[in-house]
């Protein structure tokens, strides 16, 4: 196992400790503001406006996952519907991302499907694209089933995410080809066992490029979600060499991470989107960001020591 993976798994394990969660929630607000646009929808829309002024489009995400009741799931649906209506009033590209577990996937697939139908019935007529985030490996099959069900019901303004660190992903990609999915490709940010996921960063990176090239060859629209300069450079080289037009793919990066790279790619004429999370349920998201980059752990420690 690579040092990167050892670090990530260690951080995610510690982050699950309730005492650590309480400490970070109480004293690491400065780091939160770096990666989360705010707790309100208005703050998120203001952050999106600033990005648009720099040529970078926004992916808005009301943070939340793994709810414990139907009431909680319906509350998140109401929040997402408010987001859909508000963003539809803006002149820039309209793009929303969500997790199915915040709509009750763990409680009932039928409930999550019902709530997703309600969201898409509001979103599609307003030109709002909705991306279903992919969560940890036990939830992949259910997420794929719901995506396919929505497409078979006639919804088209919905996309999916695949993770390159899972052994199964190439098969999942091939199985999805009849649906011609709008695909976001990520490496994967959850703590996964060696039985289901690559544990070596080099293999994860290689698989990321392999899957992206395969998807492009199959005619899919691909959003490459990475901050790695080497991977970005290889995507640019490959698409230029193969004559893949720039309206067939895009780059996606996280709010607060390498903003200068986001602006530079946009200035070069690529479609660039920044994932802009907001809301009060930010702790799981922040934990995964800390696990991705050791520098973020130092920022947390500095926040804690400095109060």
> Would you name the residues annotated as active-site residues?
133, 184
DSSP state string for 75-90? HHHHHHHHHHHHHTTS
Angle, CA 193 vertex, CA 189 and CA 194 arms, to 5°: 110
Residue 106, C-beta contacts closer than 8 angstroms, at least 6 positions apart? 66, 67, 139
> What are the CA-CA distances from residue 188 to residues 162, 167, 276, 291 (Å)?
8, 12, 18, 11
3 state SS of 110: helix
Strands 183-186 and 222-225: parallel
Give 236's Cβ-side CA count (13 Å radius).
Answer: 15
Q: What is the CA radius of gyration of the chain?
A: 19
3 state SS of 124: helix
């Amino acid at each position: 196992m690579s040092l990167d993976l050892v670090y990530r798994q260690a951080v995610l394990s510690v982050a699950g400790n309730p005492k650590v969660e309480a400490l970070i929630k109480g004293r690491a607000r400065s780091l939160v503001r770096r990666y989360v646009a705010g707790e309100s929808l208005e703050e998120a829309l203001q952050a999106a406006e600033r990005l648009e002024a720099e040529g970078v489009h926004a992916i808005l995400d009301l943070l939340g996952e793994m709810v414990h009741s139907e009431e909680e799931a319906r509350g998140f649906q109401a929040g997402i519907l408010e987001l859909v209506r508000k963003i539809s009033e803006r002149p820039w590209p309209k793009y929303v991302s969500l997790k199915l577990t915040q709509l009750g996937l763990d409680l009932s697939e039928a409930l999550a499907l019902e709530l997703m139908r309600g969201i898409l019935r509001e979103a599609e007529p307003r030109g709002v694209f909705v991306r279903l985030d992919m969560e940890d490996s036990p939830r992949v099959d259910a997420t794929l089933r719901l995506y396919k069900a929505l497409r078979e019901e006639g919804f088209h303004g919905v996309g999916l995410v695949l993770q390159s660190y899972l052994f199964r992903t190439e098969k999942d990609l091939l199985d999805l080809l009849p649906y011609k999915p709008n695909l976001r490709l990520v490496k994967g940010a959850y703590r996964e066992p060696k039985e289901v996921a690559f544990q070596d960063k080099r293999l994860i990176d290689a698989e990321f490029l392999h899957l992206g090239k395969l998807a492009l060859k199959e005619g899919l629209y691909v959003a490459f979600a990475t901050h790695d300069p080497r991977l970005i450079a290889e995507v640019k080289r490959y698409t230029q060499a193969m004559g893949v037009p720039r309206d067939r793919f895009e780059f996606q990066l996280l709010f607060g991470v390498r903003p200068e790279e986001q602006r530079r790619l946009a200035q070069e004429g690529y479609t660039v989107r920044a994932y802009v999370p907001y809301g009060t349920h930010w702790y799981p998201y922040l934990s995964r960001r800390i696990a991705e980059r050791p520098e973020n752990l130092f920022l947390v420690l500095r926040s804690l020591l400095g109060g």
